Amino acid sequence: MKTTASYFRVILFTIASIGVIEYLYETGTEWAMFTQYLFWLIVGCIVLFAIAFEICIEALETVLAHSLEEEAKVKYIAKRKEDQQRPFNKINAFYQRLLGSKSIKEEHEIILDHNYDGIKELDNNLPPWWVYSFYASILFAVVYLVRFEVFHDYNQVEEYEAAVEFAQKEISEWKKTAKNLVDITTVEVLTEASDLSAGKKIFNANCVACHKADGGGGIGPNLTDTNWILGGGIKNVFKTISEGGRDGKGMVSWKSDLKPLEMAQVASYVLTFQGTTPAEPKDPEGNVWTPEATDK
């Protein structure tokens, strides 16, 4: 690869293919480029292919040039050089237009006729990029002034409140899809009927032997009263189910058997026992728990 243009083409092609492969790669919400080593293997192959392609084209052109007569050859080579330069000429011309400055050759046209100790001044035009940004800022200021100072569209407080409301909506959307990500710090009481009935099923399958179906207690303590050994409230109950009770008491850790969502469901179900009257209630154990007193 001898020309800058071909390097450019290869780089552009590489960037484009990284974009396309990332788009096509099925990795859900993850980035394929960070998680899949195959990704870079494919990109590597594509880059090799692009380089090989450039080299082949160059070789073909060289072979073609050699088969020409002497005079045509010189012409051909000159033309090729010019072609390679052309994209840069265009970029250059565009850049010059943005600057709006005169080339050094034309500078004598705009030189001012005063002279301070040999320092002369050029009467350059303001660069167009600057002039247009200035006009744009004036337009912006007018619109801004009318919108916020005359019509009082919205103020910062309202903007903040809208942003918070939007974020809260997003959080609740996210919670719906991320229920399984709950842990001790984020768990909240689930109130949907489907979660509670799932919790009931888990309770009946795993917990009734010690706590009874109505929560009245047996080997385990009564779950219907306001007394708790290990603390009430969703966070403590979730923690007890997840980590287990005190050593040797019989309440094991359930986190290897139940998923986080299942623990949240059964914990929410356990809390529905509060205030009910079981058939054979076990005497209260532990202390009366209130959210304010022992919320850890």
Exposed/middle/buried for 24, CB within 10 Å: 0-12, 13-18, 19+?
exposed
Smallest separation (angstroms) from ligand HEC to the CB of 148: 55
Contact 284, 225 (CB under 8 A): yes
d(CA 218, CA 291): 26
Q: Characterize the bridge pairing of strands 119-122 and 111-116.
A: antiparallel
Between 81 and 249, name the residue whose CB sits nearer to ligand HEC. 249
Among 230, 234, 261, 264, binds ligand HEC (CB under 6 A): 230
Sole residue written with tokens 């082949």: 56
Which parts of 56-85 interact with ligand HEC (CB under 6 A)? none
Among 241, 260, 273, 282, binds ligand HEC (CB under 6 A): 241
Which parts of 166-225 interact with ligand HEC (CB under 6 A)? 203, 206-207, 209-211, 219-221
Sole residue written with tokens 């052309």: 86
d(CA 96, CA 105): 14
- Residue at 236: amino acid letter: N
Among 18, 190, 198, 237, binds ligand HEC (CB under 6 A): 237
Exposed/middle/buried for 259, CB within 10 Å: 0-12, 13-18, 19+?
middle
Which parts of 272-291 interact with ligand HEC (CB under 6 A)? 286
245 binds ligand HEC (CB under 6 A): yes
- The site for ligand HEC, by CB under 6 A, has a size of 24
List residues near ligand HEC by CB under 6 A. 203, 206-207, 209-211, 219-221, 228-230, 237, 240-241, 245-246, 249-251, 254, 266, 270, 286
